[in-house]
Amino acid sequence: MSWQNTTANLFGRLMVKPIMKRAVSISALRAGIDTVEQLFPGRPPHCRILRDRPLPDCDAEWVLPEGIAADRVVLHFPGGAYVLRFPNFERSLVARMCRAAHARGRLVFYRLAPEDPYPAGHDDCLAAYRQLLDEGVAADRIVITGLSAGGGLALAVLLAIRDRGWPLPAGVVAMSPVTDLSDSHARSSRRTNATRDAMLSLAQEFDLREMYVGGLRRLVSHPYVSPVLGDFTGTAPLLFQVGSGEALLDDSRRAADRVRAAGGSAELEVWDGVPHGWQGMPMLPEAKLAIERIADFIRMQVP
């Protein structure tokens, strides 16, 4: 484990996790997280940001590394527990994935709870995929990626694409995805790794869940909300990345098992001791290696 990784874990324990533990308003939570955003530039270096193709109900932008003219498209759904937004962090992550994979990036800032509960964010992400198809991007040139809550949305959107009979994307990359908002994980890593996880706290877990589903608890078992409860028959190949000490470790394990049980392809990478969202931390050697693995997967699925 690198010293940079050790430092990132310490930073998470001192600066990020305490914010997630406190019972504060969403506005206060967002303000606290904004301090983390200052660590990342508003525009990644050697990269263009285009906002000329908005979606009907949310913002979206193209992230275009300079010197790359490939027809591969990375459609990315950000993390943030369905209530937060990290635009600088996510732009940096998408830019680095696209540069490594020689691809164009499409970053979707879907609507957030509690102002816009499910299915608003899910519908925005699905609309972003439909927009690419309608603009002539071939489905087999698209890889969907997502981090944390965005990883859960990536899986849910994959199920929705299959259910609608639309052409499937070439693959999906789920980075530490949230795959279960039901109560079926009482003995999972959400409990056993609760203290080991340097970034995430379970203290506000149920409040955030209630916000996402708009208080309609019956929705937590819907596969578009908890994709680990869905049927992955006939879906695209998947790559999961997750840290060994993350509270969300079993979300990835169970989802990968679910895909394989349905006859699908699911690679599961468990990285030792890395913090939640490490792929987006460019100072970590482990992040560079993880991005390279993601790029390998993208290039394999979209030759």
| Of 90, 123, 82, 131, nearest in space to 107 by CA | 90
Q: Are 147 and 93 in contact (CB under 8 A)?
A: yes
**Rounded Cα–Cα distance for residues 199 and 175 (Å):** 14
Catalytic residue among 76, 176, 276, 286: 276
**Total number of residues shown for the chain:** 303
**Rounded Cα–Cα distance for residues 44 and 20 (Å):** 27
Q: Which two tokens stand for residue 201?
A: 């706290």
Peptide bond into 54 cis (omega under 30): no
Which amino acid is located at 108 in the chain?
V
120 φ, ψ (degrees, to nearest 5)? -55, -55
Q: Are 82 and 213 in contact (CB under 8 A)?
A: no
Longest CA pairwise span in the chain (Å): 48
Task: Indicate the SS3 state at residue 102.
Answer: coil
Active site residue 122: no
Active site residue 102: no
Active site residue 276: yes
Catalytic residue among 90, 92, 122, 148: 148
CA 155, distance to chain mean position in Å, is: 9
Catalytic residue among 90, 246, 252, 286: 246
**Rounded Cα–Cα distance for residues 12 and 2 (Å):** 16
Residues serving a catalytic function are 148, 246, 276
